Amino acid sequence: MDVHTLIDGIELRHIGGVGGVDDLGAIRVCDLTEDSRTAMPGSLFVARRGAKDQGARYIKEAIDAGAVVVVTDDPDAQLPCPCHAAILYAPDAGLVGAQLAERFYGHPSEQLAIAGITGTNGKTTIAHLIQQIIKHATIDGKRAKCGLIGTVVVDDGRERGRAAMTTPPAIELSRTLATMVEHGCQACAMEVSSHALDQGRTHAISIDAAGFTNLTGDHLDYHKTLESYTQAKAQLFSKLKPGARAIINLDDPTGQVMIDACAQGVDVLGCSMQDSNAQWYGQVAQRSLDGMLIRVQCPHGVFESSVPFFGGYNASNVVMALGLSDVVLDRIGLEPSARLDVFERAMPGLGLPRGRLQRVDTPEDDVRVFVDFAHSDDSIRSCLGGVREVLPAGALLWCVFGCGGERDRTKRPRMGQAACDGADRVVLTSDNPRSEQPSQIVDDVLAGLDESQRSKVEVQVDRAMAIRFAIDHAAAGDVVVIAGKGHEPEQIMTDRWGRLVVHDFDDVQHAKDALADRQTRDGEDS
């Protein structure tokens, strides 16, 4: 694509390098990148300002690799001499990069019905549920196809791969959406993180349905204040196009902030497990360790169906997923009555993502073990509360958890309190300590506990030993929740020389090994 076509209507100023504004039409761009290491002949390099580094520092590196155009937010950027690329300036290079990516890849977000979900908790589960629901729809005689972008995996309609981050950078995001279109997807379910919103990664994307789950203290290492964190989330709704729909969790007080942020012409619908006047209202009719029966009242009628998992917060996630799926199915041409049929058929077979209340034990085990990604005080409280609702009579609830290093330290004592409030026994351990001393992180957690709470806490800094301790010491019938890492298959820490290293570490596998040893030991004792 020639540069004139690519930048037409976008505010950019030529500040150096080859040619001038009138000569840009002769330059052809074959690739976009924000990483100078991936630049190639014909690339347009977006040298944007980051949280820790300045893209302008890498302009020479990108040009040396063959970049023919550079977009920078530094009007005084140091340019190589001679400079063999056109240098264009934009105050917000990140936003411009997102706009260029959408145009370069053929506006893929306008060819898909996109549901974007933001909030502190629930994003991953809801995105996965939406994808599963959409696949039960039939459009023009063919099964509907929905891509997925999120914390655990990226599914482009042909391949599922491990995700590097919750919401990819803008260029990668548009490229992935274009791949979904190429592979026949009609829709996409996408997690939208506060980091992505703050950095404008999704601001050029056309989103049809936006969902807000909840907001609690998290990521303050990045956002600094809860107000800044809240306003970052609100950008998803302020950037919606007229005609889009917002599905807001009315049970969270911050929901009103998101409603107020919605752009003019956006249709706002409420989702609730408490307010029967909400457009999407759910009630849990029955619940057990094997699942729950949910009654849903929606704009198209009332229906009831089971799901094979439990937890009040997961019931809320299901209702939110149904509301967002309804918008997506509407956009791809499904009538309301057909949508209800899709919901009723989909719900009994829905599954949670890996590491979200993932059940590890087998029928042969005498304790129940779940692995969950809960890594904030609110998510631990919700997770343990959900398990408590279905805990067998006389059983004890165990919680194994730790706090990540180099992350929001303010939530550590709160997480300890949440674990002690929700569980009967707590095993405090390491999560991903990174460059911090695990013992210091443990001390930060313990500092928030009083004597009565500390009496129920066992400290096992080694995570493998902590998992084994809980499973070994649980009585028959007890339930063990291993929280914090969920789907993550590694642990990040320093070695004895202080170097950051990544070790293979899977909570699920360690729990399976401990359960197998428990069975062997019990067999020998009998």
Which of 90, 140, 118, 391 is CA-nearest to residue 233?
Answer: 118
Enumerate the domain spans of the chain.
Answer: 3-103, 106-349, 358-525
- In the CATH scheme, what is the homologous superfamily, with its name and number, of domain 3-103? MurE/MurF, N-terminal domain (3.40.1390.10)
pLDDT at residue 82, as a whole number: 86
pLDDT at residue 52, as a whole number: 77
Q: Which residues of the chain have pLDDT under 50?
A: none
pLDDT at residue 213, as a whole number: 97
Q: From its phi and psi, is residue 240 left (phi > 0), alpha (psi between -120 and 50) or beta?
A: beta
Greatest extent of the chain over all pairs of C-alpha atoms, in Å: 87
Measured torsion, CA atoms of residues 411, 416, 422, 427, in degrees rounded to the nearest 10: 130
For residues 117 and 323, the answer to whether their CB atoms sit within 8 Å is: no
- Strand 160-162 relative to strand 153-155, pairing: antiparallel
pLDDT at residue 197, as a whole number: 93
pLDDT at residue 22, as a whole number: 64
CATH-assigned architecture of domain 358-525? Alpha-Beta Complex (3.90)
Tokens 């502190």 belong to which residue?
120
Fold designation for 106-349: UDP-N-acetylmuramoyl-L-alanine:D-glutamate ligase (3.40.1190)
Output the CA–CA distances (angstroms, integers) from residue 274 to 30, 313, 354, 382, in the order listed: 52, 12, 28, 16
Cis peptide before 82 (omega within 30 of 0): yes
pLDDT at residue 224, as a whole number: 75
For residues 378 and 411, the answer to whether their CB atoms sit within 8 Å is: no
pLDDT at residue 51, as a whole number: 72
For residues 251 and 122, the answer to whether their CB atoms sit within 8 Å is: no
pLDDT tens readout for residues 338-377: 999 999 999 999 999 999 999 999 999 999 999 999 999 9
pLDDT tens readout for residues 439-462: 999 999 999 999 999 999 999 999
Determine what percent of the chain falls in helix, strand and coil, rounding each to the nearest 5: 35, 25, 40
For residues 417 and 392, the answer to whether their CB atoms sit within 8 Å is: no
